[in-house]
Structure 1
Amino acid sequence: MTKLSVNINKIATLRNSRGGDVPNVVQVAKDAQKFGAEGITVHPRPDERHIRYQDVFDLRPVVTTEFNIEGNPIRKFIDLVLKAKPEQVTLVPDAEDAITSNAGWDTMKHRDFLKEVISEFKAKGIRTSIFVDPDPAMVKAALHTGTDRIELYTEEYAKQFAKGNKAGIAPYVACAEIANELGLGINAGHDLSLENISYFKNKVPGLLEVSIGHALIAESLYQGMEYVINQYLSLLRS
């Protein structure tokens, strides 16, 4: 069964735009889990423009499902993760000034670096995942970093699906088949939504987890978070 992890970065963005503590990210995480979310994802960036480092420590005691911390493994981020000890860390090669994640790792070029970082996390019992483009070569090379999982970067799939091009799923299916053969777990995320999640889940073999934030929060503005989370769960289980 594919699990749903709710990324609450956009809640922090809204909070930070006004100052203060409304909406409260800890309460939203509690509510998301109460509504059925099977994990909570955060992606703290160095400038803390949405999720702050302190948020991670505030959230740690209340995340009773699975805590997934995403980010570029600079030393400050590594130390944060080692202190918070989430169930999963997802390594993303985003630049400090990136609006959002926009590319996966070159797992051949950065193999030694990733291997060293991943060994630190695994020594503390933290499951690791690395963000990759739907490129068979990158998936194959990911195995040699020691990672437990890959997270397929799904922006291109979402773009193609919106155009009516369902063949855009093909690279993701091919990469998933390779990952399954290699024994790598498969996560996915970026621009997945109620509109495109069902097709993706039903076509990609062995999909363990999806992390959804922007679309889920936007959909919740119109339909309510409890309803939207339950819609995702229904689609992921069908």
Structure 2
Amino acid sequence: MEIKKINNTFLPLRLGVNIDHIATLRNARKEGFPSVIQAATVAISAGADMIVCHLREDRRHIMDDDVKELRSAINKDLDLEMALRDDVIDMSFKVKPDKVTIVPEKREEVTTEGGLDINKNKSKLKDLVMEYKKARIEIFLFVEPDIEIIESCAQLGVDGIEIHTGSYSRARGKDAIHEYKRVLIAAKKADELGLDVAAGHGLDYQNAPLIATIPYIFEFNIGFSIIANSIFYGLDDSVKRMKDIINASRR
């Protein structure tokens, strides 16, 4: 995957669909269905530009075999979300997803709770960036909308960042506008520094449109709201609706 950055305002928006919770449902009964491969195929046919999955330490949803099968089965980009764990890092070099997104991870959390601590992991990240570039795998870091953090990301030489939109997604009223402005300022700074900018976490059909107006963001990674909506309206329609919403917001 290579994004040509002439002017982000004119780049077509990309939608990455996270299918973790298809695996959550499958694992709830320890059955072989619903299939994450089938879900990925449906999402792609409905307009998804990329499939996203998070291989966690505890393997609570996506399993190793899921990642391997997704890599060989889909004809779109695969983004592997992962913590800085040696076993998952080793696997990523074997599977060769188009992109890896490094995220923080805690065993007790229900979902990812915040951005990566760049300073704490700087040494390991610096080495990883070089290795992924050699392997022709893009590397993104999942970070808070903070200028200093984004400057650190640029210094590391990563391909891009995914801005954590969790605080924005949870906020209401004036607080939501404040969080939106944080994302806007952070995205603009990242773009100025030559980083590709994605956004994700907590985005849904109501709050994604405002974030989609930010011209510096080229990609939205959304999972839970799409999968939840699919219970009532089907996965095909749910993906199409989200794609239409974010594209309409950019026009």
1:107 aligned residue? 118
Which ranges in structure 1 are unaligned for 5 or more consecutive residues? Answer: none
The Cα offsets for residues 34-81 of structure 1, whole Å up to 9 and x where unpaired, read as 111111000011221100011101111112111000010211011111
Root-mean-square deviation over aligned CA pairs: 1.4
Q: Distance in 1 between matches of 2:172 and 2:51?
A: 26
Q: Does 1:223 align with 2:227?
A: no
1:140 aligned residue? 151
Residues 48 and 198 of structure 1: is their aligned pair in 2 closer, same or farther, counting only changes over 3 Å?
same
% same residue: 33
SS in 2 for 1:128: strand
Conserved? CA contact 1:37–1:229, under 8 Å: yes
Aligned length: 237
Q: Distance in 1 between matches of 2:66 and 2:119?
A: 33
2:104 aligned residue? 93
SS in 1 for 2:75: coil
2:83 aligned residue? 72
Please report the TM-score for the alignment, with normalisation by the length of structure 2: 0.90
Deviation of residue 87 (structure 1)? 0.7
Q: Distance in 1 between matches of 2:100 and 2:218?
A: 15
One-letter code of the match for 2:217?
L
Which ranges in structure 2 are unaligned for 5 or more consecutive residues? Answer: 1-11
Deviation of residue 98 (structure 1)? 2.5
Conserved? CA contact 1:103–1:153, under 8 Å: yes
Residue 128 of structure 2: which of 90, 112, 117 is its match? Answer: 117
Shifted more, 105-114 versus 21-30: the winner is 105-114
SS in 2 for 1:97: coil
Residue 177 of structure 2: which of 150, 163, 166 is its match? Answer: 166
Which runs of 4 or more aligned residues in structure 1 lie more than 3 Å from their structure 2 counterparts after TM superposition? Answer: 161-165
Q: Distance in 2 between matches of 1:167 and 1:131?
A: 20
